[in-house]
């Protein structure tokens, strides 16, 4: 029996929309390995302080975007900031079942009960509860739990489901129709439900 693993990449960074536009452009242009090297390290298109950081971030974003269809890459590269942000959020969710389940349980419940805000401890409680599915979560250090929580809350704030990362106040997200169409066309109904979580009601 295969052991279940969340295989989360939340330690890799939040939405990184500006950087995602660069990676989407390279994917759309079907860049060769040499062209990737030139863009990321020689030209430093991600505008990072070191080549190692640029490589790490490029790899993280590429792994997210490669799970999506070119139609998402197009929107991330050419869309306005709000559209590119929501499409990047879809890619993060596709890569991170852990965040999907946090939205489906903790965040949804907060909207349904009109809690008004989230709390930092809810991320740790969520990880403890999910450890029954993936025992590796129980081995995470407090530093890893804290960092993944910070990134998760930053992602939710960047897409607009939270007002900011300090107060963690809930905020209604108006999902762009272009994103709804992309998700419906690729049968990503679970991800669409995550984007629409601020409209959740009891029942």
Over the stretch 124-144, which tens digit does the pLDDT of each residue have? Answer: 999 999 999 988 898 999 999
Q: Residue 1 pLDDT more than 90?
A: no
* Radius of gyration for the chain, computed over Cα atoms and rounded to the nearest angstrom: 17
Predicted local distance difference test score (pLDDT) of residue 203 = 60
Q: At what angle do helices 142-159 and 120-130 cross, to 10 degrees?
A: 120
pTM assigned to the model: 0.94
3-state helix, strand, coil in the chain (%, to 5): 65, 0, 35
Q: Residue 179 pLDDT more than 60?
A: yes
How many angstroms separate the CA atoms of 191 and 195, rounded?
6
Predicted local distance difference test score (pLDDT) of residue 2 = 59
Size (the chain), residues: 203
Adjacent-strand bridge partners of 169? 117
Q: What is the average pLDDT value for the chain, to the nearest integer?
A: 94
Distance of CA 57 to the CA centre of its chain: 14
Q: What is the pLDDT of residues 24-74, one digit of tens each?
A: 999 999 999 999 999 999 999 999 999 999 999 999 999 999 999 999 999
Predicted local distance difference test score (pLDDT) of residue 37 = 94
Which of 68, 67, 85 shows the shortest CA–CA distance to 76?
85
Adjacent-strand bridge partners of 117? 169
How many angstroms separate the CA atoms of 94 and 189, rounded?
11
H-helix or E-strand containing 149? helix 142-159
């Amino acid at each position: 029996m295969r052991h279940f693993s969340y295989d989360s990449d939340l330690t890799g960074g939040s939405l990184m929309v500006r950087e995602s536009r660069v990676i989407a452009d390279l994917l759309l242009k079907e860049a060769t390995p040499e062209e990737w090297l030139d863009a990321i390290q020689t030209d430093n298109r991600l505008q990072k302080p070191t080549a190692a950081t640029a490589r790490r971030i490029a790899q993280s974003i590429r792994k997210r975007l490669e799970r999506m269809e070119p139609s998402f890459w197009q929107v991330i590269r050419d869309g306005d900031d709000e559209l590119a942000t929501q499409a990047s959020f879809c890619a993060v969710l596709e890569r991170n079942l852990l965040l999907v389940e946090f939205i489906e349980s903790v965040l949804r419940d907060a909207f349904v009960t009109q809690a008004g805000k989230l709390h930092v401890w809810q991320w740790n409680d969520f990880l403890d509860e999910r450890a029954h599915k993936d025992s590796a979560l129980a081995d995470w250090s407090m530093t890893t739990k804290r960092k993944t929580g910070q990134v998760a809350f930053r992602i939710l704030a960047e897409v607009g489901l939270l007002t900011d990362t300090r107060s963690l106040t809930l905020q209604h997200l108006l999902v762009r129709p272009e994103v709804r169409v992309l998700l419906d066309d690729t049968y990503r109904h679970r991800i669409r439900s995550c984007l629409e979580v601020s409209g959740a009601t009891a029942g």
